[in-house]
């Protein structure tokens, strides 16, 4: 079965290798692994989706904790959580197929982020099954997918739950106003606008 | 650990600016040694080379004894033996490239047996990292899966914090080896050294450590109802320093104790509740008791395949209580009913006041009855039939040393015979490679043990095969003038492999007969005294000669060549399905069985 773990790790060189090496040692295949910044400087967040027997979750978590750079591990597969993935799809697009593609994009809440004479690019966010659904329809409707890039899953528990371990860490300063000092100040709307025009 | 910083500074030569406890500008090389001194290190085992030369150059300013090894594998094993004998962190030093790779076997050995060592390696300069520079290897990459943690340090100011954290990591929780790789330029440059400021941040809370009152109550319930309980005593008892607590548990509840190989010195052999060693070469009553038990209390052990036999048939009727600090060991091999995850000593201290006294005499009597049929073990009175058996040697060595020596064994048949016939009553008095089973371990590990405990009598017990893997360290013994006694159990074979070939490969002794040099002459070449022993009658007098001789002494015991270790559970068989000693074999069976 697929397990989804969220690991908060120190943002240091080599940490990804340690995590990946651990899964190799345990002979567990990583289905996807997403790493990025968190609300705290010096802490990165990994969402790891791994294919392993049901009863191995405990061992995987405990082994992750044995890595010095791992601060906290959460088995979000067992919790009520929001799980999202982002995919970019470059699809062959002719004047004849354009309408159909636009329609599919709308149905799947995908966005068209690039339009070239012979292709377009779709951006879709959602659960893995939603993305796979779009891919399937594209293939079945004889649309040629030229390229696909997927981020792998990101997950976050629903509700007020936050990491107790990270809260207890004094050296992990939250990204406060002062931490952002010197960086251009942007309001949320600006960010969205920027992204849309990127 | 926290107090060792203070001890270290007491040794400091205060007239030397490099030794002050005030923040001072030091080179990275000086920082390395000053930090080790601060951590309480007095002895290190190492071998110099280009990338670690700045460190060696600075060594003379510091109150640290450096033991020059003959191969870096030896340095790691010495640090390991040092840690096992003393409970303090052992330190090994090597240069980059081949020096570092030579450490790897010793690091893996420490990893599998959870031994706290810190290995410091030199690395090429940070400017050329990643260019395949001369003697550059990615040692942090190579050792990633065999260290608890490792560091690549390329800035002088990071040396002290990395080293201090390395010492903390090596000793905390389940101990293990840590490697710190320091580039040459980081050793050469200078920075402000501030020992106190370099202390690691407090450890983060570990959410999986859990020995809550519900689990404690469940464990107590199981113990209270138990009719046939057995304690499984492991290496964790030594790590956690929980010997008293385990003993109280056994005595108050009258629970017999079976030991793992590495747990043999965690419970006194002469204690009436001690059954002996469990597992592949455990005595029949020990394994039978485990198989018949209704409750097993595992204390700091990990249900290794060498002690469980086939998992499907392991202790089928027993409820299992597992007290263990490493959550990853829970339910790994054997599914347990109650897991108390935490430091063994702390868990037992919570549990013991709630544990009522109980009586298990029917169970203890039943075990005694089993012993009666299988046993032996006092082979002292067997007639001398002209053969010299390894068991005799171990027995006589035990008697002659009053069981007081630190015995450091290699890997093979002699290791099992030692475990069976040398009765250890003192903690940390048996040092042996369990998890990795590393031939060549004994001689260097014994050097480490002797350096850590110079007042203790130290014996190496090695096979003719394994001894030759690291026999170059005889030179180290000679150069350091160490009083170590060496018993080579010379059977002319890679004996343990030969035994497997005898049992499982139709006696096809492929590549196991072994030609060896005259070990006594080899010792003599190093200025070390020695003697050959071929008859039982010569064992005691030669052991006495070795003990009374000032300085190292090597005895080459020419033992029966095709003797085997009994009983034996073939790997994959159930714990009670053992191969017993054939009755025509004259050795160990008792008069009562004859
Ligand atoms: C480094 C290493 N290589 C190979 C082995 C496999 N092995 C285990 S026991 C053994 C034989 C040991 O022979 P010897 O040292 O003569 O001891 P004996 O069994 O004869 O007492 C071998 C080859 C090992 N444990 N370690
Ligand atoms: Mg041999």
DSSP string across B101-120: HHHHHHHHHHHHTT--EEEE
- pLDDT at residue A78, rounded to an integer: 81
A126 vs B587: which has the higher pLDDT: A126
Tell me how close the Cα of B197 comes to any Cα of chain A, in angstroms.
14
Tell me how close the Cα of B267 comes to any Cα of chain A, in angstroms.
28
Strands A2-10 and A43-51, by their bridges, are antiparallel
The answer on pLDDT for A192 being more than 80 is no
Nearest to B207 among A58, A67, A165 (CB): A165
Catalytic, B165? Answer no
Q: Is the peptide bond before B567 cis (omega within 30 degrees of 0)?
A: yes
Nearest to B72 by CA among B32, B45, B110, B109: B45
What is each CA distance from A68 to A62, A72, B168, B325, in whole angstroms?
12, 11, 11, 16
Min mean pLDDT across A51-60, A184-193, B558-567 is at A184-193
Give kind and range of the element (H or E) at residue B340: strand B338-341
- pLDDT at residue A169, rounded to an integer: 64
Exposure string over B485-504, b if 16+ CB within 10 A, otherwise e: bbbbbbbbbbbbbbbbbeee
The mean per-residue pLDDT over the stretch B73-81 comes to: 98
The mean per-residue pLDDT over the stretch B468-474 comes to: 98
**Interface probe, candidates B208, B311, B333, B342, chain A, greatest A C-beta count within 10 A:** B208
B452 vs B7: which has the higher pLDDT: B452
The answer on pLDDT for A19 being more than 90 is yes
Torsions phi, psi for B94 (to 5 deg): -150, 165
Min mean pLDDT across A158-167, A179-188, B490-499 is at A179-188
Angstrom distance (rounded) from CA B529 to CA B483: 11
Catalytic residue of the set B12, B135, B254, B577: B135
Minimal-distance CA residue of chain B relative to A74: B207
Residue nearest to atom 9 of ligand 1 (CA): B412
- pLDDT at residue A178, rounded to an integer: 43
The answer on pLDDT for B70 being more than 70 is yes
A184 falls in which pLDDT band (50, 70, 90)? very low
Contact B145 A21 (CB under 8 A): yes
The answer on pLDDT for B320 being more than 90 is yes
3-state secondary structure of A89: strand
What is the best residue among B113, B411, B514 to mutate for testing ligand 1's pocket, by most ligand atoms within 8 Å of CB? B411
What is each CA distance from A28 to A31, A42, B28, B149, B327, in whole angstroms?
9, 28, 41, 21, 18
- Residue B132 CB partners (closer than 8 Å, separation 6+): none
List pLDDT tens digits, range B419-447: 999 999 999 999 999 999 999 999 999 99
Contact A71 B204 (CB under 8 A): yes
Catalytic, B349? Answer no
Angstrom distance (rounded) from CA B460 to CA B444: 9
A198 vs B411: which has the higher pLDDT: B411
Give A 52-91 residues with CB within 8 A of chain B: 55, 58-59, 61-63, 65-68, 71-72
- pLDDT at residue B588, rounded to an integer: 45
Residue A94 CB neighbours (<10 A)? 10
Strands B190-193 and B338-341, by their bridges, are unpaired
List pLDDT tens digits, range B165-221: 999 999 999 999 999 999 999 999 999 999 999 999 888 778 888 888 999 999 999
What are the tokens at B58? 């600075």
List pLDDT tens digits, range B113-142: 999 999 999 999 999 999 999 999 999 999
- pLDDT at residue B15, rounded to an integer: 42
> What's the distance, Cα to Cα, between the start and end of chain B in Å?
55
The mean per-residue pLDDT over the stretch A83-101 comes to: 96
The answer on pLDDT for B4 being more than 90 is no
- pLDDT at residue B378, rounded to an integer: 46
- pLDDT at residue A163, rounded to an integer: 76
- pLDDT at residue A79, rounded to an integer: 84
Q: Are B187 and B32 in contact (CB under 8 A)?
A: yes
Rounded CA Rg of chain B: 25
Residue B371 CB neighbours (<10 A)? 19
Contacts of B149 in chain A (CB under 8 A): 67-68
Report the DSSP beta bridge partners of residue B579. B568
Catalytic, B135? Answer yes
Min mean pLDDT across A32-41, B3-12, B224-233 is at B3-12
Contact A170 B201 (CB under 8 A): yes
Domains (ranges, CATH) in chain B?
3-193 (3.40.50.970), 213-371 (3.40.50.1220), 390-558 (3.40.50.970)
B382 falls in which pLDDT band (50, 70, 90)? low
The mean per-residue pLDDT over the stretch B236-253 comes to: 97
| Residue ranges in chain A assigned as alpha helix (H) | 15-25, 57-66, 98-107, 128-140, 164-168, 188-197
List pLDDT tens digits, range A27-81: 999 999 999 999 988 999 999 999 999 889 999 999 999 999 999 999 998 889 9
Identify the residues whose C-beta falls under 6 Å from ligand 1. B 410-414, 437-440, 463-466, 489, 491, 493-497
Report the DSSP beta bridge partners of residue B191. B26
The answer on pLDDT for B294 being more than 50 is yes
B555 vs A80: which has the higher pLDDT: B555
Contact A170 B206 (CB under 8 A): no
Query: For chains A and B, what is the number of CB pairs under 8 angstroms?
Result: 49
What are the tokens at B536? 């039982």
The mean per-residue pLDDT over the stretch A135-140 comes to: 96
Contacts of B108 in chain A (CB under 8 A): none
List pLDDT tens digits, range B353-362: 999 998 889 9
- pLDDT at residue A180, rounded to an integer: 41
Rounded percentage of chain A residues whose pLDDT exceeds 70: 82
What is the best residue among B460, B465, B565 to mutate for testing ligand 1's pocket, by most ligand atoms within 8 Å of CB? B465
Angstrom distance (rounded) from CA A26 to CA B458: 39
Minimal-distance CA residue of chain A relative to B173: A66
The rounded Å distance from CA B490 to ligand 2 centre is 5
């Amino acid at each position: 079965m697929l397990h989804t773990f969220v690991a908060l790790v120190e943002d240091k060189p080599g940490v990804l290798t340690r995590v990946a090496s651990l899964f190799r040692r345990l002979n567990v295949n990583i289905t996807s692994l997403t790493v990025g910044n968190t609300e705290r400087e010096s802490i990165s967040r990994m969402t790891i989706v791994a294919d392993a027997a049901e009863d191995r979750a405990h061992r995987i978590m405990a082994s992750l904790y044995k890595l010095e750079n791992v601060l906290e591990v959460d088995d979000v597969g067992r919790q009520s959580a929001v799980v999202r993935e982002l995919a970019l799809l470059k699809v062959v697009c002719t004047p004849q197929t354009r309408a159909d593609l636009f329609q599919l994009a709308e149905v799947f809440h995908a966005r068209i982020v690039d339009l070239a004479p012979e292709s377009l690019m779709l951006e879709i966010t959602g659960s893995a099954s939603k993305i796979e659904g779009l891919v399937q329809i594209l293939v079945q409707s004889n649309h040629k997918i030229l390229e696909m890039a997927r981020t792998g899953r990101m997950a976050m528990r629903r509700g007020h739950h936050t990491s107790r371990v990270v809260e207890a860490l004094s050296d992990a300063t939250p990204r406060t106003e002062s931490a952002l000092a010197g960086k251009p100040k942007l309001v949320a709307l600006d960010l969205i606008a920027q992204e849309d025009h990127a | 650990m926290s107090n060792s910083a203070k001890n270290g500074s007491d040794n400091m030569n205060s007239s030397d600016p490099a030794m002050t406890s005030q923040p001072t500008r030091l080179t990275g090389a000086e920082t390395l040694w000053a930090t080790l001194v601060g951590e309480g290190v007095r002895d290190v085992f190492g071998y110099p080379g280009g990338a670690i030369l700045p460190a060696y150059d600075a060594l003379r300013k510091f109150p640290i004894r450096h033991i020059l090894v003959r191969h870096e594998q030896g340095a790691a094993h010495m640090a390991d033996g040092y840690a096992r004998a003393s409970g303090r962190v052992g330190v090994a030093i090597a240069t980059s490239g081949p020096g570092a790779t030579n450490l790897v076997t010793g690091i893996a050995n420490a990893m599998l047996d959870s031994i706290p060592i810190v290995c410091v390696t030199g690395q090429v300069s940070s400017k050329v990292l990643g260019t395949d520079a001369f003697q550059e290897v990615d040692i942090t990459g190579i050792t990633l899966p065999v260290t608890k943690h490792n560091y690549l340090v390329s800035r002088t100011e990071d040396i002290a914090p990395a080293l201090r954290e390395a010492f903390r990591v090596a000793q905390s929780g389940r101990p293990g080896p840590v490697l710190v790789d320091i580039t040459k330029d980081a050793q050469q440059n200078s920075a402000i050294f501030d020992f106190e400021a370099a202390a690691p941040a407090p450890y983060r809370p570990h959410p999986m450590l859990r020995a809550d009152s519900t689990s404690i109550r469940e464990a107590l319930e199981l113990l209270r109802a138990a009719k046939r309980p057995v304690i499984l005593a492991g290496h964790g008892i030594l790590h956690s320093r929980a010997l008293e607590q385990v003993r109280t548990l056994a005595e108050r509840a009258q629970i017999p104790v079976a030991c793992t190989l590495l747990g043999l010195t965690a419970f006194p052999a002469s204690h009436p509740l001690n059954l002996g060693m469990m597992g592949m070469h455990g005595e029949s009553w020990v394994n039978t008791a485990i198989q018949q038990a209704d409750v097993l209390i595992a204390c700091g052990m990990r249900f290794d395949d060498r002690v469980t036999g086939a998992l499907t048939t392991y202790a089928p009727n027993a409820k299992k209580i597992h007290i263990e600090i490493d959550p990853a060991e829970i339910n790994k091999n054997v599914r347990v009913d109650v897991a108390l995850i935490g430091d063994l000593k702390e868990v037992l201290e919570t549990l013991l006041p709630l544990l009522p006294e109980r009586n298990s005499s029917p169970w203890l009597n039943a075990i005694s009855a089993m012993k009666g049929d299988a046993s032996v073990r006092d082979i002292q009175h067997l007639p001398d039939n002209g053969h010299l058996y390894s068991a005799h040697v171990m027995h006589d060595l035990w008697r002659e040393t009053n069981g007081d020596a630190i015995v450091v064994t290699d890997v093979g048949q002699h290791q099992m015979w030692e475990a069976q016939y040398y009765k250890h009553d003192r903690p940390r008095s048996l040092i042996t490679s369990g998890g990795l089973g590393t031939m060549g371990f004994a001689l260097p590990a014994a050097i480490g043990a002797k350096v850590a405990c110079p007042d203790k009598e130290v014996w190496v017990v090695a096979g003719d095969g394994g001894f030759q893997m690291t026999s170059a360290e005889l030179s180290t013994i000679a150069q350091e003038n160490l009083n170590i006694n060496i018993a080579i159990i010379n059977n002319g074979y890679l004996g343990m492999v030969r035994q497997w070939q005898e049992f499982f490969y139709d006696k096809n002794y492929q590549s196991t007969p072994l030609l060896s040099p005259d070990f006594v002459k080899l010792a003599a070449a190093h200025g070390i005294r020695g003697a050959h022993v071929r008859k039982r009658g010569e064992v005691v007098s030669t052991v006495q000669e070795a003990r009374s001789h000032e300085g190292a002494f090597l005895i080459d015991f020419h033992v029966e060549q095709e003797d085997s270790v009994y009983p034996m559970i073939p790997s994959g068989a159930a714990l009670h399905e053992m191969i017993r000693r054939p009755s025509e074999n004259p050795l160990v069976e008792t008069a009562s069985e004859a």
